[in-house]
């Protein structure tokens, strides 16, 4: 499956929060993300990602292992995604390290997730703050087959427009790059 996704900088977080609250109940979660790569950064060189994410929510904590391949849509950065829940976070980290991958960056994301149907698609809208990065972001995604990426992105753009987010607000900036840059400053 392809994760068709657009990300935008949010200039009026309270207004976006209000509009999202009208669509669905928001779920506050904190993500602890660790990204892995080979010692010579093979994944980064081809635009792929390997991540272990532990999600702390209001009623549970869960860990997922995610692989994202090379972007299939350059404008949005949408990528094929394979993700699975893992039972033991420490074991997952040990397995990935045992396979020769090394942690390249780890950081926290503070999120409020909204799951709803829009334009006939299951959407996930996530209002995001990364403590080490200035600003608030909105990510909207839906999982689709390869041949549905373009249509799904148009549906996401329509949703964003309805929320008051314009094309000029869209960004391909990666949190990993922003956090890395901030730490090097």
Report pLDDT digits (tens) over 129-148: 999 999 999 999 999 999 99
| pLDDT value, residue 97 | 98
Q: Inform me whether the pLDDT recorded for 150 exceeds 90.
A: yes
Percent over 90 (pLDDT), the chain: 99
Q: Is the pLDDT of residue 175 over 90?
A: yes
> pTM, whole model, 2 decimals?
0.95
pLDDT digits (tens, 9 = 90+) for 32-72: 999 999 999 999 999 999 999 999 999 999 999 999 999 99
d(CA 185, CA 180): 9
Q: What angle do CA 27, 59, 135 make, to 5 degrees?
A: 35
Residues 6 or more apart whose CB falls under 8 angstroms from that of 161 comprise none
Give dist(CA 158, CA 82) in Å, integer: 26
pLDDT for res 185: 84
- For a pLDDT cut of 70, what percent of the chain falls above it? 100
DSSP string, 46-78: TT-EEEEEEEE-SS-EEEEEEEE-S-SBTTTTB
Average model confidence (pLDDT) for the chain? 97
d(CA 23, CA 35): 32
Q: Where are the alpha helices (DSSP H) in 88-174?
A: 89-98, 149-162
Alpha helices in the chain (DSSP H): 13-23, 42-45, 89-98, 149-162, 175-184
The Cα 52–Cα 85 span in angstroms is 10
Structural domains of the chain, with CATH = 2-184 (2.40.320.10)
- Residue 85: pLDDT band (50, 70, 90) is very high
């Amino acid at each position: 499956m392809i994760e068709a996704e657009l990300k935008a900088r949010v200039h009026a977080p309270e207004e976006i929060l209000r509009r999202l609250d009208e669509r669905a109940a928001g779920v506050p979660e904190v993500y602890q993300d660790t990204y892995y790569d080979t010692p010579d950064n093979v994944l980064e060189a081809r635009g792929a990602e390997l991540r272990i994410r532990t999600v702390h929510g209001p009623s549970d904590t869960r860990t997922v292992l995610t692989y994202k391949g090379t972007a299939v849509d350059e404008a949005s950065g949408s990528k094929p995604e394979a993700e699975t829940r893992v039972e033991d976070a420490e074991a997952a980290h040990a397995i990935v390290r045992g396979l020769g991958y090394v942690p390249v960056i780890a950081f926290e994301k503070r999120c409020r997730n909204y799951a709803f149907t829009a334009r006939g698609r299951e959407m996930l809208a996530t209002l995001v703050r990364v403590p080490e990065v200035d600003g608030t972001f909105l990510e909207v995604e839906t999982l689709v087959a390869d041949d549905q990426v373009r249509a799904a992105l148009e549906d996401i753009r329509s949703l964003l427009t309805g929320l008051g987010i314009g094309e000029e607000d869209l960004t391909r900036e990666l949190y990993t790059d922003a956090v890395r840059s901030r730490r090097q400053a």
